[in-house]
Structure 1
């Protein structure tokens, strides 16, 4: 089959949706399907590292992403594909899909957590803009889709609570990652070349954008409190500074007197990224909202336990697998994550590593994602 992914941006700094599409390009290839990507990135910012066609149709890096080039491109090209996946909401590519695809070409929508009620509670001023846009664009676009694709049961249950008239065909698809592509020793070596100060040093890994919703500040406060009483490994933050938060976090670490215990790695990609997951004692992610948390699946695929908040939507699956610990997204909750990890003996940690790998293999291996998407469009008679 031939599948198109329509997404606002493929820049790695964009987080989960772009990374999910990157993973799926490999999945489709392994399953014998072909894929192209249409994005509203300017041509100079196209994902040149991907070996699939990427059509960069944007004009500038604005948030909404309006471009006069997208709708004409869809009119000329949509018929070449068996189906289109619209990745993400609240941006211009959704309006283009509504105008050019609905009623003519089969498409499905991945909201990627953008219908979580948390956003309406946390950013009520944005809700004032979203309500009319929902009525005119997003609601009709979702209702006209072949399916709205959710990455877990929790996301599917939360989504209809955000806006009225939330009626669509819901499908929960397996989601996750293909896992590390290379040799473990080579990937760990690549990580140590990128961050030589961490060679032979135990560490806990925060991976993801530095963003208020990720709970970075409460992680620093919890780490400082627990480190005052227990020996903790170094804390590593690996991810882009997407909203200019790092300077504030660094000042907080100074105030808490843990600056010498925290490493700011920036964005780590390629083999070094997988080496970071492999070398870490555990991944820690105390997010206030996390639709799926692709980094959680990536850590599990490396046999790395995960210490996460109960606001990560796959927390229940992690608990059922015994692949990590789950607590509330508060400073005391994050302290408990750290305390529970410190209290584990070597045997307990080794058993959790085995369960982490089994959890990925049984639940979060993304080969099944591509198969589900292909079956969806195949059943459409495309």
Structure 2
């Protein structure tokens, strides 16, 4: 008998770094599976948030052993793509299993439909779209309508739901979702050596000389808690005049302009560096030269940026709304705060003023990342899930009836 590797298709609306960590993480998941011997393809659009990626449409583009198929995004809202639909209709039967990423977007609908129609098992990774904050604050009436008529059917048709934290699963279950589920964290890429990066970010920004750096590195979005961070930082400066706040990320221009206006109103103009969107070595250099990482989000299914910071040996101050906050607390890798200005300011000051605590959290953070978030550890869990599903498939007729 001739054996062939499992053939997996990841379907996701966008792989643009501008869409944040969850979109980028699919590359790590795919790369890890290829390294373990699977054949992995990714079907996505050319979405780049405000614009379009400069990619070839429809043909495979190979990257580290993974074939990426990009299709024209025809509407920014809902990231609709009719060419992607046609491709899925023709090719979904070529795969053993479909791994769908996101909800409340067109790609998951098309992928689930064609997988169900042809009896191909699929997994759904919601990417935090079912979290309480998003359901209540992002067009809630439309989301509730869509959830009842579309997303619930997609989830009911799935062989499993892939959550990235226990907190994400708990909040999804508040919606009455009882489908079989697993918790597999996001995977980080290969370890980044600090050698060659130390001092690079500071050298590019001499205004930071001699000042401890508190780093916020994420999308600039209302859910990220920047309305808490700015006044909390202002309170810090009243107690300790030394730290600088680096805000690294991009977002809606009107929202960013509003943040900068508020920072100036608080008298923080000379104490904040607006670094813009950082990726690759620029991002790792910023993490290497920083002293504390902060992410006071109102909602995160996981917290990719925090995990990357811990992998670089940074102590973190995060809100109790990040999916990984319990793990961070248990491993003493940082401080956990509610979404309150005073508590956030106190935690940042505590870490800044207590070098032994900061160093202890930093060491614990690195150990946590190496234990839980490596590509190898996550890939092992993911392949076990794929194998289990393909060994005990849910009957195609049941799956199709659940979706259609």
Match of 1:185, SS? coil
Select which of 113, 121, 126 maps to 1:111: 126
Select which of 350, 374, 390 maps to 1:365: 374
Match of 1:73, SS? helix
Q: Which residue of 2 aligns with 1:251?
A: 261
1:209–1:242 Cα contact (<8 Å) kept: no
Normalised to the residue count of structure 2, the TM-score between the two structures is 0.87
Aligned in 2, Cα 1:196/1:38: closer, same or farther, shift over 3 Å?
farther
In structure 2, how many angstroms separate the alpha carbons of the residues matched to 1:19 and 1:193? Answer: 28
Count of paired positions: 376
In structure 2, how many angstroms separate the alpha carbons of the residues matched to 1:187 and 1:27? Answer: 25
Match of 1:263, SS? strand
Match of 1:259, SS? coil
1:134 aligns with 2:134: no
In structure 2, how many angstroms separate the alpha carbons of the residues matched to 1:167 and 1:59? Answer: 33
Select which of 319, 334, 353 maps to 1:343: 353
1:268 aligns with 2:278: yes
Aligned in 2, Cα 1:230/1:194: closer, same or farther, shift over 3 Å?
closer
Q: Which residue of 1 aligns with 2:402?
A: none
2:202–2:289 Cα contact (<8 Å) kept: no
Deviates most, 202-211 or 69-78:
69-78
1:12 aligns with 2:12: no
1:158 aligns with 2:171: yes
Select which of 170, 178, 197 maps to 1:167: 178
Select which of 251, 275, 285 maps to 1:241: 251
In structure 1, how many angstroms separate the alpha carbons of the residues matched to 2:291 and 2:340? Answer: 22
For residues 240-298 of structure 1, the C-alpha deviation after alignment (integer angstroms, 9 at most, x for no partner) is: 12463221111111111111010011111111211211211011011111111101110
Q: Which residue of 2 aligns with 1:2?
A: 7
Give the superposition deviation at 1:44.
4.5
In structure 2, how many angstroms separate the alpha carbons of the residues matched to 1:341 and 1:190? Answer: 24
Normalised to the residue count of structure 1, the TM-score between the two structures is 0.91
Match of 1:217, SS? helix
2:352–2:358 Cα contact (<8 Å) kept: no
Match of 1:64, SS? helix
Q: Which residue of 2 aligns with 1:65?
A: 79
In structure 1, how many angstroms separate the alpha carbons of the residues matched to 2:33 and 2:12? Answer: 17
Q: Which runs of 5+ in 2 are unaligned?
A: 1-5, 392-404
Deviates most, 196-205 or 290-299:
196-205
Q: Which residue of 2 aligns with 1:75?
A: 89
1:145 aligns with 2:158: yes
- Aligned-residue Cα RMSD (Å) equals 2.2
Aligned in 2, Cα 1:25/1:242: closer, same or farther, shift over 3 Å?
farther
For residues 96-118 of structure 1, the C-alpha deviation after alignment (integer angstroms, 9 at most, x for no partner) is: 02320126112101001110122
Give the superposition deviation at 1:190.
5.2
Match of 1:273, SS? helix
Give the superposition deviation at 1:7.
0.8
